[in-house]
Structure 1
């Protein structure tokens, strides 16, 4: 079976993940599989659908590794461009899919009627599958999903393609976004099986995270210092994943100041997380058994209505406000920063990746002078760091014949390549 893999998004940058597998490129009898279809953020490029090598109507399957918008955000546009195939993901991702896409579509020019129509179409096309089981597609192709440990429902995908002429199989793994060990709520990433081609993310390919075991204490120290002058601590946080992790750890810290979650989507996702406790890790389930719900503690307030958000803008500290978006590109955090950046009593804590060209990246790089103090806690990254990525590859029973690095800036990809090559002697395969 002749096969090509083309990277249509996140080939040389971090966001906008989109990858195309063609089993018979140029022929109508082949199977076309798209892995992720995400929105590009910041300065990252985005390929128009009419420039795809295969028309959306000719794509048979769309696999989604997880429900972050830089992996799923263009799914409505793909459907509008003619896609009518099956959408395949884990059960947890399927539960998160519609809320995340509904929010993404709210920033588009679509009418409410169009949004409802697309939601119904996505719901009809999407299917949830179990982890660790092998499922069949057309023409002898199979797939298996493994836990990626990035957010709830995140997976990596093993495809197996038959070669009728040789009688062998060609195995391809897409890592999706790999998470870290010891992430709150989530089980650790699974070890991958062997494959011929590995498509590996490299977001933090040039970094090592601080010790994650001490990150609660690190956050506590930053918060104690920040709140000592009765200021407000703003935490821009992704609605999916990071908001729930922060609530989990603030619950453990027994914070004595009010904590506001000013994110309608974050609140909706938190409710879904609570309903999906069967997918939590053992530690989180034990807390639940002890009646210590990690998303419900004294001093925690949900800010749902826009009127309450406007009132919150004028609150006096000390207080902690968690709001989206995580990269400060939109959402309610923009209003908070507009009100709070010029007050030296206030602090901003970044707990996630900031893409090039985003307001969050500009603040971290101090390109926009502000009076509020700015902190970056990389131990809260949902992405594996360089050593974790190398260890994940090393855990394969046999090394891949080829590795392609995607989903990373050029510096991260180059540093990770050098590290993998020096660790695994893979000079001819990268």
Structure 2
């Protein structure tokens, strides 16, 4: 068996990993890289895309799925395997990503249909068999709705045991709104583990709602606007949930057509929610729908929102400020000291969000980093997840993290 880390080997975005085993070529994720993270052209891959038999998607975020249309254009015609929820989220996510390419509307629709034909949704916890007797099981990763980690078993030679390989995908944190906690992993011979926050620990998640409420109360006291860059999938819905519990008493705008569409899908997939969210809905308190929450879908309404007078909260993409409507808001709002900018997610090296957070972009607005809202497990959580295996993994390989984070996590794990 041979594993090539085509993307996210020592950076955070562009996740893509190739396994060659038992005459089968298998990919785990095929995402877009952001900022300074490298991209390997398809003609430089270890194998031609046309020879890839299976593509597994751990979840629907673009840094794990965004190159799928280009992979198909490069010749891939194999099966795309993921959870049912990821399959439902995949089409709107990739449609939005393709809208920023040079594809025509007709070409985008054709590619959507092609991806739908190739992709299959699978249940969690059941074991399925691929060709060459390779088996896999998907388990809940707790990162976003539908996210999973993958446990593979590759048959050994005569008289030898199978090789068990686990890909963590992006692991989430415990006590994340709407999402069940990540499942515990089985033992394995090789663990491919994400390390995004391998060098730090988040704020106490149990206290983060109170911290957000306090920060918002202070930020809105001068009738300014709070801007929150957030990815349309996962972070936006998590924020809506928390803001409903806080009830800041000011209008909250989701200024993202994709964010609005994904929120509606989240509302329909309540079978994937955690117990708390289901209980709230059963009691008549819908966890991601509340008074003073407004959807901004049309661009002309977005333009009107740029002249809005506070107090107000505006959630808009993209989460790293690399594009989307948040760019227009920051052009209008960063020069006003009454305004505040809340970062609630990872800002990759080379992105505008990272430059703003590190103070390299001029701003009169106050800048805040709230790490308690990360959708990624921190060092302590990652270490505990590995320690929960019945037997320690034979080998741990760290990916999906910057070198500093990987070094710190390796030291913590004694690898």
- TM-score, reference length from structure 1: 0.96
What is the deviation of 1:324?
A: 0.4
Residue aligning to 2:106: 113
Question: Which of 400, 407, 411 is residue 414 of structure 1 equivalent to?
Answer: 407
Equivalences for 1:158-169 in 2 at 5 Å?
A: 158-169=151-162
Structure 1 distance, partners of 2:196, 2:247, is: 32
Question: Which of 142, 161, 164 is residue 171 of structure 1 equivalent to?
Answer: 164
What is the deviation of 1:368?
A: 1.1
Q: Secondary structure at the match of 1:39?
A: coil
Question: Which of 236, 239, 253 is residue 246 of structure 2 equivalent to?
Answer: 253
RMSD: 0.6
Q: Secondary structure at the match of 2:301?
A: helix
Residue aligning to 2:6: 8
Structure 2 distance, partners of 1:294, 1:188, is: 17
Structure 1 distance, partners of 2:78, 2:279, is: 40
Q: Secondary structure at the match of 1:228?
A: helix
Structure 2 distance, partners of 1:288, 1:7, is: 42
Residue aligning to 1:364: 357
CA deviation string 1:164-188 (max 9, x = no partner): 3233110000000000000000000
What is the deviation of 1:119?
A: 0.3
What is the deviation of 1:139?
A: 1.0
Residue aligning to 1:87: 80
Residue aligning to 1:334: 327
Q: Secondary structure at the match of 2:250?
A: coil
CA deviation string 1:298-352 (max 9, x = no partner): 1111101000000000000000000000000000000000000000000000000
Alignment check: 8 A CA contact 2:217 2:248 kept? no
CA deviation string 1:125-174 (max 9, x = no partner): 00000011100000110000010000000000000011132331100000
Matched, 1:146 2:144: no
Residue aligning to 1:296: 289
Residue aligning to 1:263: 256
Matched, 1:225 2:218: yes
Matched, 1:395 2:360: no
More displaced stretch, 292-301 vs 258-267? 292-301
Question: Which of 109, 124, 130 is residue 137 of structure 1 equivalent to?
Answer: 130
What is the deviation of 1:211?
A: 0.4
Question: Which of 220, 234, 240 is residue 233 of structure 2 equivalent to?
Answer: 240
Residue aligning to 1:424: none
Matched, 1:317 2:310: yes
Question: Which of 192, 207, 211 is residue 199 of structure 1 equivalent to?
Answer: 192
Structure 1 runs of 4+ with >3 Å offset? none
Question: Which of 28, 52, 61 is residue 68 of structure 1 equivalent to?
Answer: 61
Q: Secondary structure at the match of 1:387?
A: helix
Structure 1 distance, partners of 2:294, 2:193, is: 39
CA deviation string 1:32-69 (max 9, x = no partner): 00000000000000101111111111000000000000
Structure 2 distance, partners of 1:398, 1:294, is: 38
Structure 1 distance, partners of 2:54, 2:121, is: 13
Between Structure 1 and Structure 2, how many residues are aligned?
A: 415
Structure 1: 5+ residue stretches without partners: 25-29, 422-429
Structure 2: 5+ residue stretches without partners: none
Question: Which of 206, 210, 215 is residue 213 of structure 1 equivalent to?
Answer: 206
Structure 1 distance, partners of 2:341, 2:47, is: 44
Q: Secondary structure at the match of 1:220?
A: helix
Structure 2 distance, partners of 1:371, 1:229, is: 14
Matched, 1:21 2:19: yes
Structure 2 distance, partners of 1:412, 1:72, is: 23
Structure 2 distance, partners of 1:139, 1:299, is: 55
Q: Secondary structure at the match of 1:256?
A: coil
What is the deviation of 1:111?
A: 1.1
- TM-score, reference length from structure 2: 0.99
What is the deviation of 1:381?
A: 0.2
What is the deviation of 1:113?
A: 1.4
Q: Secondary structure at the match of 2:233?
A: coil
